[in-house]
Structure formats: structure tokens, C-alpha cells
Copies of this chain bind each other. A is one copy, B any other.
Amino acid sequence: MSGWLQRRESVIVQTPGRGMLDLSGRVHEIVARSGVHEGLCSVFVHHTSASLILCENADPQVRRDLEAFASRLVPDGDRLFEHVEEGDDDMPAHVRTVLTHSSLTVPVADGRCDLGTWQGVYLWEHRHAAHRRRVTITVMGTGPTR
């Protein structure tokens, strides 16, 4: 039997403001570096106004439509919100984060992060201003059988 392995890496992502950034490449690299052959890969974002999603990775219009839907569902400047110190997009960013995901867990199979063909890991920045976001990828499982 092979041994148990674990690797944890944090990456800093500079966002240009509201929108989605593809993290799939970085996740795949860290899984490869981990040496884990079978196991789980966890992705976590350490903020409450940016989130993670698994999204269709072929047509960029899907992300634009998702953004349009979120903007309509949780409008900036909604009079409902009283927490407005940081601006019109402050409370909508918290709501959008809670309605999507702060952590994702993906299986690792045959040494690869086993995303579906059309699945990409995206960081979704919900604030209009540029931000530095910290994301931690943890890979845990067994190495290749020898």
C-alpha cells in the first residue's frame, strides 16, 4: 500500500474588480505538485465579498449571463440594505457570497483534479474595486501504488 500525502498552498489573486477569474490551472498545478493520486482537493476563499463557483468553461457568455443574473437578483444600492458603509456594492457582495460558495471539494483521481469536461474553478469577485484575494488549496489522499 502507498502512503498518505497532503499539500496545502495559498495563492494571492489580484482581481480587477467585479467578475470571474479562472483558477483551474493553478488548482491542477497544485494537485500535480502534491503527489496525491487518489483523494480530495479543497479550494477555499478567505473573504466574505468574493466567492468560488464551478462554472461552464467554454463560452464566456455563460459568466456574463451569471453576472447579469446576480446583479438583477441582488441589486447594488438596494434600499433594503442598511449596511452601506463601504458603498452600494458592499452588502450585495456579502449576499452573493452566501448564495454561492466559499469552499469547493473536488475528487482527485489518477493524480488529476477530476473536474468534469466543462467545469472550471472560478473566483468570483463581487466588489467593483480591485482586491487582493487569498485562496487556499488543500490536497489530501494517497500517493501512487508501487
Contacts and interface: CB of A to CB of B under 8 A. Distances in A.
Number of copies: 3
Interface in A22-57: 38-40, 42, 44-49, 53-56
A106 B39 CA distance: 15
B62 A83 contact: yes
A13 interface: no
A103 B106 contact: yes
B98 A55 contact: yes
Q: Is the interface of A mostly helix, strand, loop or mixed?
A: mixed
Contacts of A118: 47-48
Contacts of A136: 107, 109, 114
21 contacts: A8-B38, A40-B140, A42-B105, A44-B105, A46-B115, A48-B55, A48-B116, A54-B98, A54-B102, A56-B94, A59-B83, A64-B82, A65-B82, A66-B95, A66-B98, A69-B95, A101-B101, A103-B104, A103-B106, A107-B136, A107-B138
Q: Sort A-B residue pairs by CB-CB distance and give the 3 closest, nearest first.
A: A46-B116, A61-B83, A103-B105
